[in-house]
Amino acid sequence: MPKVTFLPHKKEIQVDEGEILIRAALEAGVHVNASCGGEGLCGKCRVMIEEGRVADGTSEKLSRQDVENGYRLACRSRVIEDLVVRIPIESEVDAAVLNMQATPRRTARIQEMNLEELKDKGLFMPPVEKKYLELPPPTAQDNLADATRLVSFLKLKHNEHRLVVELPVIRKLPDALRQDDFRMTATLARPVHEGRKTRIIDVQPGDTANRNYAIAVDIGTTTIYAQLIDLISGDVLAQFGEFNAQISYGEDVISRIVYAEKPGGLERLHAVVLQTINTVIRKIIRRAGIETGEVSAITLAGNTTMTQLFLKVNPRYIRRSPYVPASTFYPPIDAVGLGLELADHVSALVFPSVSSYVGGDIVAGVMGSGVYRTEELTLFIDIGTNAEIVIGNKDWLACAAASAGPAFEGGGIAFGMRAAEGAIEDFSVDPLTQEPMIITIGNVRPKGICGSGLIIFVATMFEMGLIDNQGKFNRKLDTPRIRETDGIWEYVLAWEDATQIDRDIVITEIDIENLIRAKGAIYSACMTLLAEVGMGIADIERIVLAGGFGSYVDLAKAMTIGLLPEIDPDRVTFVGNGSLMGAKMSALTNRIRRDVVEATRKMTNFELSETPSFMDNYVAALFLPHTDLNQFPKLKARLDQRRAVLNS
């Protein structure tokens, strides 16, 4: 990997070959003015290549002379070898401030399921297993019933006990046995608890034991993801995601519940989510090149409302105080009976929920990420429209849903958008000139700003002293970037001619307020849970982020705004789709199904609206980063340092 050294501050970073230079700068924590998102239009990101060569990097914004002198546009240059790059700096003060302003970008380390560890620990034991058997044919002296012959053989030769043969299997068994001279493959469904009954759920003539697959599904409110898993190797053979067709009936769970209460509404929502799930199932089965009949198990996780709609259980009381779900546990359910396009013998294993707003997706995340069996005090946060948090370790678990609102997904933000092409995803600012450096997804002119970009914006502006701890802009600065429009103060991220939307893209104080409310809801929820168990933020040893948002969020910035407590970024991991991870895990190790019962029972749910201390914690968290800056000692040190530099 080529190394890039940025002067004057000698910040070094290694990047992938082909990386765009301006991204390398941002990752290294180096500010370069840039306001067109990386499309090369504004020409502000000119840098001097002192050593090495870049690919591309020229532009009509650079004269031939500039190019000959080694200038390039950082946003158009690709790193192909080791470089030394000099950033033009206006003044010494500027240089000093810029040097300390930005911390290198640091997202959470990705935590994946460790299949080898599962295997080493003997926990690679799918809930459904196939066994190839060569049975002795019956004789006059040995004319046991076919089912008894099968059960006895499994007992004697495979040490399988407490076997139950299901009726559909009894129906198939006599012919299946005789089709290949009493050589056959039996599919066994394992009990949750050892010593309970193992069900023989299918029989096939001959040896099909090496073709055994499962499907893991995350039933998201917005998107349904599924993976097809080879139960012999543990590998994911195919995966696919598709919008949940229920979206036509409402974007969030509350509007889905309202629809479900209408006559026929529940049946409709049940039918359409099944449609989507079946579409996804068909797709991954085709992609993996297997037969539907070879899928032996399906595991699913979703929030409480999605779970109830999937199971055709009316979610009416979920949205009404005191917010009571119909059930938190569900027994294994006949997949075909539910409407899933799978073989007759498949059961759907559905993750349990904790409460109306801490659902099976969160439980799956807690299981998949291993929070339930860690020694360390861990904070698990799944950020979507709602943020669900779980705090605890192998001994105890407390959880709550925080009404964070959609700010992290760009919702409720004037120019907010999802993390798609044209979204401003990174930002830095020159604290003296207030000129921004913006980078968009796809390096195109900006259309708006996504959640992770907004966090970086607010954190950077705050740390640079351009907004105060209440999220208000410094009104005293002489810059056209900070202005008042219709009584609302705002910062111009991009002038209209540098955007795709022909309007100035701004962040208003209302946007910032929304973000502060969102992060305040989450942080105060953590505080509240911890206080309820007699602990404090400082006790947190590990953070696990789940949900798409978590993969992009810059950890230092999230700590700066007070979204996350300040801990060593090495101790923050990202599990991606925790719901899918848990679903997959429970398709690979039956132990999860046993542990999940205990873990779910252990998860003490707090209804924050009913927890008296919550409101105080919330109000205290409506500052950047918090009323109590001492909870963020590293930030406090940086702010002190900045003040010293500026005052010098």
Closer residue to a copy of itself in complex, CB, 301/558: 301
Closer residue to a copy of itself in complex, CB, 146/218: 146
CB of 139 to a copy of itself, least distance (A): 6
CB of 19 to a copy of itself, least distance (A): 50
Distance CA 641, CA 647 (A): 10
Closer residue to a copy of itself in complex, CB, 355/369: 355
Phi, then psi, of 289 in degrees rounded to 5: 70, 35
Closer residue to a copy of itself in complex, CB, 139/648: 139
Q: Which 3 state secondary structure label does DSSP give 224?
A: strand
Closer residue to a copy of itself in complex, CB, 330/491: 330
CA distances from 314 to 96, 252, 262, 317, 327 (A): 61, 16, 11, 8, 11
Closer residue to a copy of itself in complex, CB, 312/418: 312
**Tokens 């898993």 sit at which residue?**
229
Phi, then psi, of 550 in degrees rounded to 5: -60, -20
Closer residue to a copy of itself in complex, CB, 80/311: 311
Buried b (16+ CB within 10 A) or exposed e, 405-429: bbbbbbbbbebbbebeebbbbbbbb
CB of 324 to a copy of itself, least distance (A): 5
Residue 206, Cβ neighbours under 10 Å: how many?
A: 13
Distance CA 273, CA 271 (A): 6
**Token pair belonging to 367:** 């299981």
**Token pair belonging to 569:** 């970024």
Q: Does residue 104 contact residue 645 with C-beta atoms inside 8 Å?
A: no
Closer residue to a copy of itself in complex, CB, 132/317: 317
Closer residue to a copy of itself in complex, CB, 236/311: 311
Task: Give, rounded to a whole angstrom, the gap between the first and last alpha carbons of the chain.
Answer: 39
CB of 327 to a copy of itself, least distance (A): 3
Distance CA 15, CA 189 (A): 48
DSSP state of 471: S
CB of 189 to a copy of itself, least distance (A): 13
Closer residue to a copy of itself in complex, CB, 163/530: 163
CB of 345 to a copy of itself, least distance (A): 14
Torsion angle, alpha carbons of 482, 488, 494, 497, to 10: -110
Task: Give the amino acid at 408.
Answer: F
Contact footprint for a copy of itself (CB under 8 A)? 138-149, 164-167, 170-171, 173-175, 178, 311-314, 316-317, 321-331, 333, 353, 355-356, 607, 610
Distance CA 3, CA 49 (A): 13
Closer residue to a copy of itself in complex, CB, 282/601: 601
Closer residue to a copy of itself in complex, CB, 597/644: 597
Q: Does residue 439 contact residue 22 with C-beta atoms inside 8 Å?
A: yes
Which conformational region is residue 270 in: left (phi greater than 0), alpha (psi within -120 to 50 degrees), or beta? alpha
CB of 360 to a copy of itself, least distance (A): 12
Q: What is the SS3 string spanning 272-323? A: HHHHHHHHHHHHHHHHHCCCHHHEEEEEEEECHHHHHHHCCCCCHHHCCCCC
DSSP state of 190: P
**Rg of the chain (C-alpha set):** 29
Distance CA 309, CA 202 (A): 29
CB of 338 to a copy of itself, least distance (A): 9
User: Is the preceding peptide bond at 322 cis, omega within 30 degrees of 0?
Assistant: yes
CB of 322 to a copy of itself, least distance (A): 4
Closer residue to a copy of itself in complex, CB, 204/514: 204
Phi, then psi, of 115 in degrees rounded to 5: -65, -40
CB of 302 to a copy of itself, least distance (A): 15
CB of 610 to a copy of itself, least distance (A): 5
Residue 123 half-sphere exposure, CB side, CA atoms within 13 Å?
A: 17
